[in-house]
Structure 1
């Protein structure tokens, strides 16, 4: 982001606020200073503000949503004054209020107030605002919106975090822990590795089964076979 101040006969008291992306001009807004009153002109009103505290930024007027130049001004002013993004903020750290007022389509006023927390008889303090400056009245001049392709590229968000793995968790002792679901298995038909000893036992059992088939199945069959032999003699 950049802010450039210039002064010429054609554009007196000129301020250009813009942003860069990937070494290219992303957008820019040209404002003319019509009225200015410095902080020192407000006396000791601004002595309570501390460097590094985040201001409360307020935009007054629907034109900040409908007029393209003022919508751009809102985006630029937020980027300029909000500071570093934070998740939480202490109420005591809000010591000033920055207010932007859209007077009409091409005029903008900027005011800044110091915040004082006073006793109210309850747990919630009473808030008192005192103008601390600077007080600026701008006239909106030229502006440039970001190109569509460049805006699309600048608004890309990286994917943060790892992709969630199904049935995988973590343990403080074992580290990565997985869960496996197995179907019911029949141990009788389960194919296992065969050892030489089991192969020898199978060969012997097959040989015994073959010999048993050759033998008579019943005692009657054996006697009949024996009787038939004596008649033949």
Structure 2
């Protein structure tokens, strides 16, 4: 039998409560890992992704020889790190002669591998190579726009899958309302061909347009790179249905109440046995007082009669 550990401090209880399943999930955290061998370009790419998602990302700098995506038994360490850091999306970088500058982006469901997309990085330009007014630099943690340009994102299965993964990776916290003045960045993904996507990061400049909605201009601030799709593994249908299941708030069932199509709501009321004789009356009734006075007079009359009989005797 495995021993079940229970939290002993309030901080541990609050942390477990944050990680517990919810109807409205929190924003997804990103786990960034290195493979056995990486290149300078790949190290820079992973660092730039970490800076773009600094508020909701965990980065490990050590090399991991046990992690081998797309291979049986090579994903156990990934699932362990996902459970340890409570991250539901990961970016794994590796470099080899067969697959240079290789990135594997994947998602997890219940801390098990859900799907995987493998891309190669080409024509990488870091943030430091772009010159622009530093006042336009996006603030850390701001909500971004994400634009997908090209018919490939609708027609090609690999690009459709890549679009889903990039949306989860870049969108951050899900919100209902946005303040337009707080949006200062956008990610632009352009489908150049059936297996190549140009990715760039731009700052938004708001200018007057004569209307309520301002005119927006894009200023490229980096990084930018080409993603070449290599391998991808979509989730199986049963796992997808389980992950996409929406649990709605069920109204609490009321006992002894039912609905009738004709009369509407029907309820049964159960009254407990009322022990009237043992009940304490809140106020003394006048009838009770009268009965007590009459009983008292009767008792006094009996006492006087008994005294007279004694005196006569």
CA offsets per residue over residues 183-211 of structure 1, 9 Å max, x none?
Answer: xxxxxxxxxxxxxxxxxxxxxxxxxxxxx
For the aligned residue pairs, the C-alpha RMSD in angstroms reads 2.4
**Distance across 2 between alignment mates of 1:18 and 1:140:** 13
Structure 1: runs of 5+ lacking an equivalent: 169-178, 182-233
Question: Who wins on radius of gyration, i.e. which is larger?
Answer: 1
**Distance across 2 between alignment mates of 1:124 and 1:85:** 23
Q: Give the superposition deviation at 1:31.
A: 0.4
Aligned to 1:84: 173
Query: Conserved in 2, the CA contact under 8 Å of 1:45 and 1:132?
Result: no
Hey, which bits of structure 1, 4+ residues long, moved more than 3 A?
44-47, 120-124, 163-168
Matching of residue 144 in structure 1 with residue 237 in structure 2: no
SS at match of 2:130: helix
Aligned to 1:18: 106
**Distance across 2 between alignment mates of 1:45 and 1:15:** 31
- Tell which has more relative contact order, 1 or 2 (C-alpha 8 A, sep 6+): 1
Aligned to 1:159: 248
The alignment covers a number of residue pairs equal to 172
Aligned to 2:197: 108
Q: What are the within-5 Å matches in structure 2 for residues 41-120 of structure 1?
A: 41-45=129-133, 47-120=136-209
| Equivalent of 1:28 in 116, 122, 131 | 116
Q: Give the superposition deviation at 1:125.
A: 2.4
CA offsets per residue over residues 87-130 of structure 1, 9 Å max, x none?
Answer: 10000111111110111111111012111112334443222211
Query: Conserved in 1, the CA contact under 8 Å of 2:137 and 2:221?
Result: no
Kindly tell me: are residues 125 and 13 of structure 1, through their superposed partners in 2, closer, same or farther at Cα, counting changes over 3 Å?
Answer: same
Query: Conserved in 2, the CA contact under 8 Å of 1:35 and 1:138?
Result: no
**TM-score by structure 1 length?**
0.67
**Distance across 2 between alignment mates of 1:29 and 1:86:** 26
Kindly tell me: are residues 45 and 65 of structure 1, through their superposed partners in 2, closer, same or farther at Cα, counting changes over 3 Å?
Answer: farther
**TM-score by structure 2 length?**
0.51
Structure 2: runs of 5+ lacking an equivalent: 1-88, 260-264, 268-313
Query: Conserved in 1, the CA contact under 8 Å of 2:90 and 2:105?
Result: yes
**Distance across 1 between alignment mates of 2:197 and 2:131:** 24
**Distance across 2 between alignment mates of 1:13 and 1:146:** 25
